[in-house]
A and B are shown apart, each in its own frame.
Chain A
Amino acid sequence: MTTPRLTAVEVVGHRGEVADYLDRESSTLRERAYAVARTVTDPELPMLTLGDLGVLRDVEVTDDGEVVLAITPTYSGCPAMAAMRDDLVRSLGEVGIKARVRVQLSPAWSTDWISERGRTALAEAGISPPRHGVATTRHTGPVPITLGVTRRSVTCPQCGSAATELTSEFGPTSCKALYRCTDCLEPFEHVKEI
């Protein structure tokens, strides 16, 4: 048995309104745990917090008073899961909260879960943020193969030009594609929509 818990939608969808939806009875520990957990940063995209990246899916407090955090991998082979878990446990430990981290596989992470603040932080760090709302469009029937170049309206995070071209759909981390700007000629990374 556990106390009532935040749903993933509440955690992910209403960031910045921590106090609004917490149940008064047992809010203190969860609220504190969530407040710390969501500001822990991603090991590979350190300008993003785990909250803004959308990988922190759930926070609950068990009857034994243990805080259990749920995180979801961005990609199946995400090598940062262990680092995220360790960072979460350590960060909470530093404010006196004993926490455990569990893996939540479903629903699969989507770039649509990256918050507006996260998108802004990516752009400020010179990384083109994923377009919103295209990733979770439900397909009916099999996904078609795309033999032409992927069409995205991606603007250069350096100069703002829309004259950009795809170099490769695969980049230095699983979540990024490589682009270059044909105006300022700078290469840059784009977080690709999944």
Chain B
Amino acid sequence: MTDLHRDPESSEESARSSVGNLPKTASTDVAHQPTHPAPNPAEAHGSVYDGLLEGDAAHWAFGTDFEDPLAGVDTTIPEGVDARALAAYSLALADDALIASHRLAQWTSNAPDLEDDIALANIALDLLGQARLLLARAAAADPSLVPALPEGSPVPPEDALAFFRGDQEFRNVRLVETGNGDFAVTIVKALLFACARMAVLERLVDSRDTVLAAVAAKGVKELTYHRDYAGRWFLTLAQGTEESRRRLEAALRQVWPLYPELFDTHEAERVAAEQGVGVDPATTRDEVDAVLDQVFAVSGVERPEVGRMAAVAGRTGRDGMHTEALSHLLAEMQSVARAHPAGQW
């Protein structure tokens, strides 16, 4: 509640009501003190705005403070686990979420209607949050991953990883970097990605790394909503108009070649799985296929029969071999941070 006109007596009153029926003790009385000293507009020597300028600048810190998202979290490497392997695995999971998030955020103010604008932005925000925690986890496990910045730069490690790496240093699968296309392409990408990530995170909750396990436990709850959203739109487009179905089928054929890469076992994933901190995505393939088959069956859509997008000299997204789309995305995403490496936000 923003109430600049609140006088000390009424703020005492509202503080009291906010502690409900607590028995009145010396300790609960402490809570009855107003926490936000409010200016009194009746005072001749001041205006209601005076209070805005006094006190702690923290009033104005909303959204501007990038303190460690893992503040106070135990980031000790589990015994017998190679820190660099844990970091490499965290980075891959982080980059998938970061790049998927940025693509979805590009729909903001461009979606077919307001509800979907909001939905896509919410999904992007969840993924950005996962990315931030995972980048911080990667940086804590292996600080040598973090790009060097000018002396005195206030950029925290997770931001340095997001904004100061080149395209070949990104470890995301290529599916998430490709363009948004029309709404059908975005829905197909979102569905395939959510199904695959959900299956990985459902297993990652048992990671020996407590940070990854915690990120996964929260992520499963979030991904459940993302996957349902994409699945419902897939069904709606398939059973909607002739045009929506035509676009959906075209989108599925266009995106499908990038689906198998989601299940390739990269070295980072193999080692992390062996050490009990990560998940080998190949082990999730049957389960994800079954979920998609269910969506296809309800939607009356055939599973596409198109081959996978080739690796380039044996390398794919996890190896830093990306499509041109990622360079364009990064140019947009990183330009402000790179122009002001010592900037305070």
- Give A residues with C-beta under 8 Å from B: 16, 18-19, 28, 31-32, 34-36, 38-41, 43, 46-47, 49, 68, 70, 73, 75-79, 81-83, 85-87, 89-91, 93-95, 100-109, 117, 142-143, 145-147, 150, 167-172, 174, 178, 192, 194
Beta-carbon contact of B25 and A76 below 8 Å = no
Beta-carbon contact of A108 and B217 below 8 Å = yes
**B298 at interface (Cβ–Cβ under 8 A)?**
yes
Please indicate the chain B residues that have their CB under 8 angstroms from the CB of A79 in the complex.
63, 125
Shortest distance between the CB of A32 and any CB in chain B (Å): 5
**Please, what's the 1-or-0 string for B128-162, where 1 marks a CB less than 8 Å from any CB in chain A?**
11101100000000000000000000000000000
Beta-carbon contact of B115 and A142 below 8 Å = no
Please indicate the chain B residues that have their CB under 8 angstroms from the CB of A174 in the complex.
122, 125-126
Beta-carbon contact of A39 and B31 below 8 Å = yes
**B279 at interface (Cβ–Cβ under 8 A)?**
no
Alpha-carbon separation in the docked complex, A145 to B235 (Å) = 12
Interface-located stretch among B12-20, B250-258, B300-308, B327-335: B12-20
Alpha-carbon separation in the docked complex, A89 to B127 (Å) = 28
**B53 at interface (Cβ–Cβ under 8 A)?**
no
**B202 at interface (Cβ–Cβ under 8 A)?**
yes
Please name 4 further chain A to chain B contacts, defined as beta carbons within 8 Å, in addition to the given A77-B132, A178-B115, sorted by A numbering: A46-B1, A145-B195, A147-B232, A169-B228
Please indicate the chain B residues that have their CB under 8 angstroms from the CB of A46 in the complex.
1
Please indicate the chain A residues that have their CB under 8 angstroms from the CB of B225 in the complex.
169-170, 192, 194
In the assembled complex, 25 residue pairs joining A and B whose CB atoms fall closer than 8 Å, in A order, are A34-B27, A35-B31, A39-B19, A41-B18, A46-B1, A49-B18, A75-B129, A76-B133, A76-B218, A82-B62, A82-B64, A82-B65, A83-B63, A85-B65, A86-B65, A87-B35, A102-B72, A105-B70, A105-B211, A145-B195, A145-B231, A146-B228, A147-B228, A168-B116, A170-B122
- Give B residues with C-beta under 8 Å from A: 1, 15, 18-23, 25, 27-28, 30-31, 33, 35, 56, 58, 61-67, 69-73, 115-116, 118-119, 121-123, 125-130, 132-133, 195, 198-199, 202, 210-211, 213-215, 217-222, 224-225, 227-229, 231-232, 235, 287, 291, 294-295, 298
Beta-carbon contact of A43 and B228 below 8 Å = no
Beta-carbon contact of A105 and B23 below 8 Å = no
Please indicate the chain A residues that have their CB under 8 angstroms from the CB of B294 in the complex.
145
Please indicate the chain A residues that have their CB under 8 angstroms from the CB of B235 in the complex.
147
Alpha-carbon separation in the docked complex, A78 to B28 (Å) = 29
Please indicate the chain A residues that have their CB under 8 angstroms from the CB of B222 in the complex.
75-76, 194
A28, A83, A194: the one contacting B62 at CB < 8 Å is: A83
Alpha-carbon separation in the docked complex, A167 to B119 (Å) = 11
Please indicate the chain B residues that have their CB under 8 angstroms from the CB of A105 in the complex.
70, 73, 133, 211, 214-215, 218
